[in-house]
Structure 1
């Protein structure tokens, strides 16, 4: 007689089977309609919405009837177009209110460290300017003596340049940014005319600052080479929130001897990709910053 123990399903198999059986396929299929509406620039006609979700109009209509009852979808009686409803808005706002942007970014640092092999940091705009709030130092890289809470210069750090390039002009902090740039330019202009070639990355005029900003916007991230510290290069990519505000910058720093300093470098591209995904996770739906 077989033992009662041998007749029991194995825990691993039971969990696997439960995971397979737990899903409701119709819910997953219907979600494609909501996802298509979320990705669309505006309200959609039934046929366009169905096509975007990859289903027939008749099938899409059945789901939409239920979604309307739940308030997830609304139909304009004049145009017959469908759009997201108040229940979808409440769900979205509830989700956004529970997101800790810096915490979300910190959770990505371990994987990003493996990709880049270089020191990483997270910076936010503080009372005094761009401020370091998280630091992941990579082994066997050039030591960078920065501390949490340090306020970064605008013109000589990748972090500062990122905030200068991607902070909205209408931001309440824009005047503070402009004052910092003015003060730093005045200091840079006092440097000896025969400054070493390593300082050539520093802008010395307002026109060069504007060129620096436009270059960062073109590449979707900022860059410095030798400017902050001799022999050190860095990239900083912007992370935007659901309102399109600059939430933080993701920074990678390393020795110019071991880190590729080209705009197309693997380290820079990895940081930019991470920042773009974080922006999407925070609800940002702005234009892609790809080259």
Structure 2
């Protein structure tokens, strides 16, 4: 399809706004121009216009430039219209085709981590999970992921119940003490994802990676699962790596800058 004509000067000038958005703080003209790939004189002309539109402000003392109130209003308006699950559905379908295994989305609901979307691979094995199912914190990849990132108060009642049950059953495949839980959740945060093998479902491996919103809160979890015979269970392997990358990209789409 033929590319539609646009206004090149607008596209060129936008590089300055992008550079400000990536920067850790206000920028000197020379540094901002270099980041945008243009001369200081050219950058200054764009910045004068952006100041008139309140997209950019300049500190009169330091002479550094930063994003202005109009840029903030546009950013907040965009964030308010973002739907994490809607964006996640698109990402989940692409990921499912990439890894060849079932992908699901989960959110934190009133009763815990809840499956809200399911992209089943044509080669998927049948698993006894349904939309709306609430996943356990200790024995599911989804639960472990959310337990690592939601507030302690939010998970406390559910965690106490599961710990008591694990202790009574004498299970060796899930933590049975708070010390064990803390070790498990520290690993989730260090890896950027959670994993279970033959824990919740026999013969099934599951990964779950967190997706964060603009405030750094977990918005949803992206889950990948499949049979142990064909599913790569390794960290940084054929499933974990693209899953983590998809979650990070979706987080950036939602405004996360961590």
Tell me if structure 1 keeps the 8 A contact 2:213–2:254. Answer: yes
Report the CA distance between 1:78 and its aligned residue. Answer: 1.5
Report the CA distance between 1:142 and its aligned residue. Answer: 2.3
Consecutive unaligned residues of structure 2, counting only runs of 5 or more, are none
For 1:1-291, list aligned pairs within 5 A.
Answer: 16=2, 19-20=3-4, 22-167=5-150, 169=151, 174-192=152-170, 200-286=172-258
Distance of 2:215 and 2:109 partners within structure 1: 19
| TM-score normalised to structure 2 length | 0.96
Consecutive unaligned residues of structure 1, counting only runs of 5 or more, are 1-14, 287-291
Report the CA distance between 1:55 and its aligned residue. Answer: 1.3
Distance of 1:218 and 1:98 partners within structure 2: 31
In the alignment, what sits opposite 1:3? none
**Over alpha carbons, which structure has the higher Rg?**
1
SS of the residue 1:180 aligns to: helix
Q: What is the aligned length? A: 258
Deviations 1:227-254 (A, max 9, x none): 1111111000000111111100000011
Distance of 1:97 and 1:28 partners within structure 2: 25
SS of the residue 2:205 aligns to: strand
Root-mean-square deviation over aligned CA pairs: 1.3
Distance of 1:218 and 1:87 partners within structure 2: 37
Deviations 1:72-108 (A, max 9, x none): 0000111111100111111111111111110011012
Tell me if structure 2 keeps the 8 A contact 1:72–1:86. Answer: yes
